Amino acid sequence: MGYKRTYETWLNDSYFDEKTKEELNSIKGNEKEIEDRFYKNLEFGTAGLRGIIAAGTNRINKYTVRRATFGLANYIIKNALEEKNRGVVIAHDNRNMSREFCIETANTLAACGIKAYIFDGLRTTPELSFAVRKLHTIAGIVITASHNPPEYNGYKVYWEDGAQVMPEIANAITDEINSIEDYSTIPTITDENKELVIMLDEEQDTAFIEAVKEQSLRKDIIERVGKEFKIVYTPLCGTGNVPIKRALKEAGFENVLVVKEEENPDPNFAGIEYPNPEEQKALTRGIELAKSSGSDLVIATDPDCDRVGVAVKTISGEYALLTGNQIGGLLTNYIIEGLKENSKLKENSVLIKTIVTSEFGADIARSNNLEVINVLTGFKFIGEKIKSFEETNKNTYLFGYEESYGYLVGTHARDKDGVVASLLIAEMAAYYYSKGMSLYEGLVELYKKYGFFKEKTISITLKGIEGIAKIQEIISYFRNTKIDTINDVKVVECKDYKQGIDNLPKADVLKYFLEDESWIAVRPSGTEPKLKFYIAVKGKDESEANNKLDGIKRSLDKILSNVMDLETVR
């Protein structure tokens, strides 16, 4: 069925409500908009849906949410029939329509005879991951678009181990969803099955916070400086405010200031265009509060509280936003040293990171004679390793992280956890504070010992049908063109992960290794219409590292502008 016919169906079919039809009538005559909304179904990717909130098959709305849920329900019934009664737990963030989508999801599951556990309000993604295992459900769902702009929402699916569904299951769920062509066939909740929707109480919250607090490594440090050490925190109007303030307070941090404009849930994020703690702009108010209050640390979490950004006071007194790689390296060192102090560091401990994460933390782990495992981008692959370690008892999970500001300390969750990461980052900063140092000075100390690591991620956004085609065109160019040098440095190896190498699943990623220990990776984003380039370098000092980074950036600019006729990448 062509996009025009599908559009007309949504306009005329009695299944779709009047509000939807009014919205679709408002775009009559706008062929480009109609095409973009209906030329395909919103894709169920490696773990779920993500899209702009609007009417249409290529948008997220109550109908596409029902369709995805019915597909998931059919998969559970067909493949885990004896597990069906374990149910599915659902959480949601603060975004527009999040509560409505949560209720639609619960009702569709109940209509299929599957118990649906829901919370009475906002909950974080890591708590959902924890709850799946705590409640022993067969699956979990989070309604969130993570750190995307306000017009987006999403739908992430977790399996019984608490990690996002692996590719094999995701593909099978996708097949079930794609087989649903008529929305009116999706069952509706009735009085007979409404009791299958079960409301959870605060018992789950307490269990989660207790599990987070168990990861503390130096309670004595918090006892000594917890009253005076100043922290600024912002949940960026998302789900993190209640659990992070509670975790920090119960751990012993008494001097926590919250950015008032960003404290309460707000689907429009108090004017923050892009509620992403990776971005300096998102921490503007937090840094201003830190300056005025003389705070030592700024912590920010994204709307569903699985990512953490950090700003620290530098030697000059200004505040610098740390990268995900820097935070990960700092935490790796802190965890190893903390475990050593308590004689709890096991020889079979393993650090897990993604293939686009720098070698900073890896070098620290290896210098302590610990193993490092690389996995594909996506925290589910770290969760998979944790599960494997528990099944075989051959290795002990030390820490897992990815450059995109996601960290997991402990195994209480199987996804990145902004609550436990915030607690450990605060504790780590307090540790340096107790030594008369800032966290930034601690970072410089590690750089002097292990080398100066610098990284940069460059994204090219290409929207719509043409954009998808252009992204594939660029990747094909890199895949089919032999590149011998970058920044006048020899390329010693190019890995194409689409070939299924290094005992990893196939993935559309290319990685170039240079003679001077620098590397560049190319991959399309799994959640946004972007092509990403990751650059990582190592220098004997900061100046050398910066020069390498700038040189590679210029070389990449030249390749893209000359060969692909693109503007200079940003």
pLDDT digit string (tens) for 176-207?
999 999 999 999 999 889 999 999 999 999 99
**Residue 569, pLDDT above cutoff 60:** no
* Whether 75 contacts 84, CB under 8 Å: no
- pLDDT value at residue 564: 62
pTM of the complete model: 0.94
pLDDT single digits (tens) 518-558: 999 999 987 677 899 999 999 999 999 999 999 999 999 98
**Residue 477, pLDDT above cutoff 60:** yes
Spatial separation of the C-alpha atoms in residues 204 and 208, rounded to whole Å: 6
Residue 458, classed as helix, strand or coil, is strand
pLDDT single digits (tens) 130-180: 999 999 999 999 999 998 899 999 999 999 999 999 999 999 999 999 999
**Residue 438, pLDDT above cutoff 50:** yes
Going along the chain from its start, the domains and CATH numbers come out as: 40-200 (3.40.120.10), 208-450 (3.40.120.10), 452-563 (3.30.310.50)
Using the Cα atoms of residue 468, residue 472, residue 473 and residue 475 in order, give the sign of their dihedral.
positive
The per-residue DSSP string of 489-553 comes to EEEEEEEEGGG--TT----S-EEEEETTS-EEEEEE-SSSSEEEEEEEEEESSHHHHHHHHHHHH
pLDDT single digits (tens) 24-70: 999 999 999 999 999 999 988 777 899 999 999 999 999 999 999 99
Token digits for 388?
């494997």
Residue with tokens 């290319």: 510
- pLDDT value at residue 563: 59
Per cent of the chain over pLDDT 90 is 88
The per-residue DSSP string of 88-155 comes to EEEEE-SSTTHHHHHHHHHHHHHHTT--EEE-SS---HHHHHHHHHHTT-SEEEEE--TTS-TTEEEE
Residue 36, classed as helix, strand or coil, is helix
Residue type, 461: T
CA within 13 Å, CB half, 469 = 3
Spatial separation of the C-alpha atoms in residues 453 and 316, rounded to whole Å: 21
Instruction: Provide the angle, in degrees to the nearest 10, between the axes of the packed helices 125-134 and 203-213.
Output: 100
The per-residue DSSP string of 327-353 comes to HHHHHHHHHHHHHHHTT---TTEEEEE
Contacts of 402 (CB under 8 A, 6+ apart): 324, 328, 353, 354, 356, 357, 377, 379, 382, 416
562: confidence class by pLDDT, cuts 50, 70, 90? low
- pLDDT value at residue 3: 94
Token digits for 56?
């249409």
Catalytic positions are 146
* Total length of the chain: 570
- pLDDT value at residue 316: 87
pLDDT single digits (tens) 62-112: 999 999 999 999 999 998 767 778 999 999 999 999 999 999 999 999 999
419: confidence class by pLDDT, cuts 50, 70, 90? very high
Report CA Rg, the chain: 24
- pLDDT value at residue 566: 46
pLDDT single digits (tens) 373-398: 999 999 999 999 999 999 999 999 99
Q: How far apart are the first and last CA of the chain?
A: 39
- CA dist 28 → 2, 4, 21, 24 (Å): 16, 11, 11, 7
CA within 13 Å, CB half, 125 = 32
What is the average per-residue pLDDT within 274-298? 95
Spatial separation of the C-alpha atoms in residues 333 and 341, rounded to whole Å: 12
Specify which residues 495 forms β-bridges with. Answer: 511
- pLDDT value at residue 565: 58
| Element containing residue 354 per DSSP (H, E) | strand 349-354
Strand pairing category for 510-514 and 489-496? antiparallel
The per-residue DSSP string of 44-70 comes to --SSEEEEEBSSSTTSBSHHHHHHHHH
* Whether 76 contacts 68, CB under 8 Å: no
Token digits for 324?
């995900």
Looking at beta carbons, which pairs linking 504-511 to residues 24 or more positions away fall under 8 Å?
Answer: 504/355, 504/374, 504/375, 504/376, 505/167, 505/376, 507/376, 507/377, 508/475, 509/355, 509/356, 509/376, 509/377, 510/475, 510/478, 510/479, 511/355, 511/356
* Whether 39 contacts 58, CB under 8 Å: yes
| DSSP letter, residue 42 | P
Residue type, 119: F
Spatial separation of the C-alpha atoms in residues 91 and 415, rounded to whole Å: 14
Spatial separation of the C-alpha atoms in residues 122 and 116, rounded to whole Å: 16
* Whether 68 contacts 153, CB under 8 Å: no
Token digits for 426?
């605060």
Residue 381, classed as helix, strand or coil, is helix
Token digits for 59?
């948008």
Return mean pLDDT, the chain: 94
